[in-house]
Amino acid sequence: MAQGTQRKFSPEAQKEVDKILFSYGVKESAVLPVLHVAQREFGCLDRAAVELVASTLGLSPTRVAQTASFYTMFSPAPLGKHVIQVCTNVSCSLLGSEGIVRYLEKRLGVERGHTRPDGLVTLSTVECLGSCGTAPVMAVNDRYFENLTTEKVESILRELGL
Ligand code: FES
């Protein structure tokens, strides 16, 4: 059954993967950092990317796909340039995250769980970003924005050129 697309890492990404494998020693424990490299390299973890990670680590594609599915930063479909994740867990929800999500949906013209057709934005809701004391919180790619209000969200969107 080992057919599939024969995808490869670029030489730079392969170098990074080799370094990760070297520092982890046990291949299996390197699954998350190698998934990160693959997600960045291919823009998503589609089947071919999962198969590549699996063969790199000597694991089954199913196992790799299952691991990836636990983490919101890994996606089987291409994500937008700006990945906006709004926490809707208890603290954030009590302090208005639902209103923030609705504001973003309307303002950006994309529903939660989707990527805008121009590929600029992916909007999703997530369960706790680990910053409950500064709720409501959202992340845009690797940056956190806290104590959100719609006014604050608007100025963040403008800063991002959205
Ligand atoms: S509940 Fe939103 S960051 Fe924890």
**Is 129 within 8 Å of 87 (Cβ atoms)?**
yes
Point out the ligand 1 atom lying closest to the alpha carbon of residue 92: 2
Among 98, 124, 127, 129, residue to substitute to test ligand 1 (most atoms within 8 Å of Cβ): 129
* Cα gap 45→61, rounded to integer Å: 11
pLDDT of residue 142: 84
Q: Where are the domains of the chain?
A: 11-69, 82-159
| Å from CA of 46 to ligand 1 middle | 29
| Distance from C-alpha of 23 to C-alpha of 42, rounded to nearest angstrom | 23
Q: Which atom belonging to ligand 1 lies closest to the Cα atom of 88?
A: 2
- In this prediction, residue 25 has a pLDDT band, given cuts at 50, 70 and 90, of confident
Q: Report CA(137)–ligand 1 centroid distance (Å).
A: 7
Least confident among 2-6, 33-37, 80-84, 95-99:
2-6
pLDDT in tens, 8-20: 999 999 999 999 9
- Average pLDDT over the chain, rounded to an integer: 93
Q: Within 13 Å, how many C-alpha atoms sit on residue 74's CB side?
A: 22
User: Please, what is the Cα angle at 146 between 142 and 151, to 5 degrees?
Assistant: 110
Q: Residue 147 and residue 134: Cα distance in Å, rounded?
A: 5
| pTM for this prediction | 0.74
Q: Determine what percent of the chain is predicted with pLDDT higher than 70.
A: 97
Residue 84 backbone dihedrals phi, psi, to 5 degrees? -100, 120
Give bridge partners of residue 124 from the DSSP assignment: 85
Q: How far does residue 28's CA lie from ligand 1's centre (Å)?
A: 30
Confirm if 60 and 54 have CB atoms less than 8 A apart.
yes
Atom of ligand 1 nearest to the CA of 87: 2
Ligand 1 pocket at CB < 6 A: 87, 89-92, 128-132, 135, 137
Find the 74 Cα to ligand 1 centroid distance in Å. 19
* Measured distance CA(23)–CA(27) in Å, rounded: 10
Instruction: Give the pLDDT confidence of 54-82 residue by residue, as tens digits.
Output: 999 999 999 999 999 988 778 888 889 99
Q: Domain 82-159, what fold? A: Glutaredoxin (3.40.30)
